[in-house]
Amino acid sequence: MLEVRRLTKRFGAVTAVADFSLAVADGETVALLGPSGCGKTTVLRIAAGLERPDAGQVLLAGRDATDWPPERRGVGLVFQSYALFPHLSVRSNVAYGLRFRRGVDRVARVEELLALVGLSGYERRKPHQLSAGQQQRVALARALAPEPGILLLDEPLSALDAALRKDLRAELRALLRKLGMTALYVTHDQEEALALADRVAVMREGRLEQVAPPAELYARPRTPFVAAFLGRANLWPGRVVSVDGDRALVEVAGARFPAARGEAGEGDKVFLFFRPEWVHLGEGPFVAEVEGAEYLGDRWELRARFRDLPLVLVVSRDLRSNRELPFALSNAQAIPR
Amino acid sequence: MAADPGRAVGFRTGAGWALALLPLLFLGVTFFWPLGDVLRLGFQVEGRWSGERILAALSDPYVQRLILFTLEQAALSALLSLALGFPLGWFLTRYRFPGRGLLRAFTIVPFVLPSITVALGFILFFGRSGHLNRFLMSLFGLGEPPIRVLYTLWAVVLAHAFYNAPVVARFVNAAWEGADPDLVEAARTLGARPAHAFATVTLPLLLPSLLSSLALVFMLCTLSFSIPLALGGARYATIEVGVYLYARGVLMDLPRAAALATITLGLSLVLTYLHLWGGGAFSTRQDGGRPAPTVPLFSRDRPVRALWLLYLLPAAVVFLGPIGAVIADSFLHPAPGGVSPTLYWYRMIASPDWNPFIESSPRGAVRMSLLVGFGATGLALVLGISVSAVLRRVRSRILETLLMAPLAVSSVVLGLALLLAFRRPPLSALGGGWAIVLAHTLIVYPFVVRAIRPLWDSLDPTLTEAARTLGAGPFAAFRTVTLPLLGTGVLAAGAFAFALSLGEMTAVAMLSGPGVMTMPMAIYHFLGSRDFGAASAMATVLMVTTALAAWAWDRAGSRWLGGSRA
């Protein structure tokens, strides 16, 4: 188990991580998601012992590991650049972490891991003789070899092309499940985060925005940032005019929409948030003006306007010829702004 | 995340300072303290500090002549180096021809050749009865040798140009290839004729490099020792030679030697500072968008290029003549009516018999050279790697200045410092050979640092981090990852250090004694006893060894850089 408590890290005048807390339970994969420069890699490096936090704690299996050097922590780290040792063969790379452990059958363990990542027979190759995907697998095998208590992955798939990335993503997920591995996975790719993780933690400017299982994060974002960062989102500024239990009525541009109340109270300024696919077209009390559309292969993305507010819609056929479309919202949320 | 290449794994900057203790301690005992001895002897008269000794030295007409001659020959050498080196740099930049890469690589060779072998080459080639005079006499049927340059100012200046013109050529070549060819083309489209575009665009772009190479050459020639010693004689001595003559030679006045050393120390500090300052101020390096265009050297429609022969032929004579003369004479034996090929001289330099002229046996000198070379290389590698490790971790100007200080002190002063230091504890406990080993260590380790630091900085810092997360402690990570990756660079730096130590004569001149003799100094003594054959054989061995080491250095460096990017 890994837990970081109230981490803060500054580089000169820049605060990379601010009061950041997160716990990764045993056997769980948590994705740390955010735009580049949001501090997610710094959190990972602090967890690995490669950076020292200015404040806060790192707990490994319940023990305060903040001051432990990296070699004592028993964490496996897969680097974005893989960091394979160029002077060592695949076998020696994977066996490297076993040098510092006693009572391990190194030969067997290396074979086992190379079989696990599907690279049996590549033992004698040097890293530069491997494809990017194979290098990635060696990096993974090397990190797993010393049986780390937790696996940290820093954008491990970002250097691969799109098709390979998707394949390896599925493989990686299956592998982590099979090994029952505890993992913290840093990525800026939302699709990767949603596909791989049991829970996703969204970071912004060094702070934690929200942590939740993927489906919940997608359906019930708590902040406008999370709503906009994951998938397509419509966010309309408005105000709560009345509340009733967990429901609220939100006034936007003179129209009133029912919405899930969330944390908003009566009179609060909020965003009315809804996903494009939550909009019902062809019926309903409201009318959108169509402005244009983009063909995306399996669907069309429609740009429209509702009383000066931009509206993104997803439809299955070309509706550009319709100047006006009636619509209704079956599902919307109020997010405080 | 962008990684700072100097970033240390972990977070203990304190460890960097702790690491600095060892090299600082070593330099303290072998360098700073001995240097203090020199300054004390220079500035202390009967236990109190005063400038009397320095002032007395400065008002001595002989010392004044030394100083004036030093500056005069350095200035002339710098100008001649520029005059000879600029066309070579131009030639290397502008023209395509077979062997261009080889010629460019060859420009490093004069720089690494032991200076005593160059001096020997000059004597054999330009001497009164040297190869050039013999050739000219037989060609024109002259009764008198037409060239009388030896033991004059001009011999010293010409030998310095031999050394430094290739350096200037490398500077010019690098700067010219870095200049954006678009600029010249822009000037041409604006109406400038080629010569005008050269004068108004290219030359101003090259000027910073020209000035900084002039400054470097001036500094090197000011502090040069073996060339003026062997080619100028006592009459045309520089300050450096003066220190030697007072400390070890006929004049025998240690306090005066220390006073002179203090003066030359000040001079070298000023020059080093000027050079570093100039290097910073002039280094307006721009990146050309594309490589400078070249034209083929050989083409029928431009016979004007044949004019290059007017430069290249004399240059080839100056550069190849002395080297060729040494090699040729090492295999020739005077015989009735001419010369005959022989290996006699090589057998002679392997002889274990005591030779009174060199105060050692020739074989002993070879042995001592190798021992000193290996010892100094080993120490310099350890010291150089530790200093590199410290300077990577701790970004401190003061620490860097302290740790690289021996770079700013001339070898003669260093030799004098160790000469004094080996007369008192703790160093007096060591044998005389150790003084030379330590001197060479101090002379060569800055080059090791210069070779290893950029290589180390270019290593991906995540590699050590990966090792750490896999369970390696800081030293295990260094041993298993960093050191093997620096491997080729360390070997190359070692080869270079070995070559420098093998050819170094200045510190040896100050520190050698009966039985403690190295090859370059033996060559100098052979010269004194007119044993040109033995001198040539020893010089040939030295030249081949240093050239091989320099070549290995060049090769390893480039192959390494190519390989790590793959």
A288, A325 Cβ separation under 8 angstroms: yes
Backbone phi, psi, residue B296, to 5°: -65, 140
Q: How far is CA B102 from CA B90, B96, B169, B550, B551, in A?
A: 16, 12, 14, 14, 11
Please report, to the nearest 10 degrees, the dihedral formed by the alpha carbons of residues A178, A181, A182, A183 taken in order: -90
Alpha carbons B126 and B152: distance in angstroms, whole number: 12
Query: Taking CA atoms, what residue in A is nearest to B8?
Result: A50
- The reported pTM is 0.78
What would the mean pLDDT of B538-549 be, rounded to a whole number? Answer: 88
pLDDT tens-digit profile of B516-534? 889 999 999 998 888 899 9
**Residue B286: φ, ψ to 5°:** -115, 155
State residue B430's pLDDT score.
84
| Residue B561 pLDDT class (50, 70, 90 cuts) | very low
Grouping H, G, I as helix, E, B as strand and the rest as coil, residue A257 is strand
pLDDT given for residue B274 in this prediction: 77
Confidence of residue B288 (pLDDT cuts 50, 70, 90): very low
Contacts of B301 by beta carbon, 8 Å cutoff, 6+ apart: none
**C-alpha dist (Å) from residue B398 to A266, B269, B401, B444:** 65, 16, 5, 21
Contact A75 B473 (CB under 8 A): no
The dihedral of CA B69, B75, B79, B85: what is its sign?
Answer: positive
Using the predicted structure, report yes or no on whether residue B282 has a pLDDT greater than 80: no
Alpha-carbon gap, residue B379 to B383, rounded angstroms = 6
Structure tokens at A244: 């009733």
What are the structure tokens assigned to B424, written together?
A: 């008192």
Least confident span in A119-133, B96-110, B240-254, B426-440: B96-110
pLDDT in the model for residue B290: 61
pLDDT at A305: 92
pLDDT by residue, tens only, chain A of 337 residues: 899 999 999 998 999 999 999 999 999 999 999 998 899 999 999 999 999 999 999 999 999 999 999 888 999 999 998 999 988 999 999 999 998 888 888 999 999 999 999 999 999 999 999 999 999 999 999 999 999 999 999 999 988 888 888 888 999 999 999 999 999 999 999 999 999 999 999 999 999 999 999 999 999 999 999 999 988 899 999 999 999 989 999 999 889 999 998 888 888 999 999 999 899 888 888 899 988 888 888 888 889 999 989 999 888 887 777 788 899 888 899 999 8
Model confidence band, residue B1 (pLDDT cutoffs 50, 70, 90): very low
Interchain CB distance below 8 Å, B470 and A50: no
Place of tokens 């081949």: B544
Q: Is the pLDDT of residue B6 over 90?
A: no
What's the gap in Å between the CA of A230 and the closest CA on chain B?
Answer: 22
* Predicted pLDDT at B13: 54
> Which residue of A14, A32, A87 to mutate against B (max B Cβ within 10 Å)?
A87
CA distance B27 to A14: 39
In this prediction the ipTM stands at 0.79
C-alpha distance from residue A276 to each of A214, A273, A290, A310, A326 (Å): 18, 10, 14, 12, 14
Amino acid code (one letter) for A174? A
Query: What residues contact residue B347 under an 8 Å CB cut-off, 6+ apart?
Result: none
Return all residues near B547 (Cβ < 8 A) that are at least 6 apart: B109, B112, B113
Bond from prior residue into B426 cis (ω within 30 degrees of 0):
yes
Distances (CA, A) of A280 to A236, A287, A292, A296, A332: 17, 11, 18, 20, 12
**List of chain A residues whose C-beta atoms are within 8 Å of the C-beta of residue B485:** 85-87
Question: CA of A44: which chain B residue's CA is closest?
Answer: B1
CA dist., res. A158 & res. A162, Å (int): 9
- In eight-state DSSP terms, residue A260 is E
- Choose among B221, B114, B91: nearest CA to B169: B91
Residues of A in contact with B476 (CB under 8 A): 71, 99-100
Beta carbons within 8 Å of B468's beta carbon, 6+ residues apart: A49, A50, A69, A70, A71, B9, B10, B474, B477
Burial B302-337 (b: 16+ CB within 10 A, else e): eeebeebeeeeeebeebbebbbebbbbbbbbeeeee
- The one-letter code for the residue type at B531 is D
3-class DSSP state for residue B123? Answer: helix
Domain ranges of chain B: 25-563
DSSP B129: T
- Local confidence band at B285 (pLDDT 50, 70, 90 cut-offs): very low
The CATH number corresponding to B25-563 among 3.60.15.10, 1.10.3720.10, 1.20.120.80, 3.30.420.40 equals 1.10.3720.10
- Residue B219 token pair: 């500094």
Mutate one of A66, A71, A125, A129 to test the B interface: name it (highest B CB count within 10 A): A71
Separation of alpha carbons B185 and B295, rounded Å: 15
DSSP state of A67: T
What's the pLDDT at A272?
95
- Decide if B470 and A96 are in contact by the 8 Å CB cutoff: yes
Q: How far apart (Å, rounded) are the C-alpha atoms in residues A279 and A247? A: 18
Query: pLDDT digit string (tens) for B147-181?
Result: 888 888 888 999 999 889 988 988 888 888 877 77
pLDDT per residue as tens digits for the range B301-353: 666 667 777 888 888 888 889 999 999 999 988 777 777 888 888 998 888 88
Closest CA to A153 of A181, A187, A119, A127: A187
What is the structure's pLDDT at A201?
Answer: 96
User: pLDDT grade, residue B278 (50/70/90)?
Assistant: low
Q: Give chain A positions within 8 Å (CB) of B480.
A: 96, 99
Is 60 exceeded by the pLDDT of residue B558? no
What percentage of residues in chain B have a pLDDT greater than 70? 90
Residue B11 to residue A71, Cβ atoms within 8 A: no
Cα→Cα distances B485→A169, B4, B391, Å: 32, 19, 19
Indicate the residue of A76, A81, A142 with minimum beta-carbon distance to B460.
A81
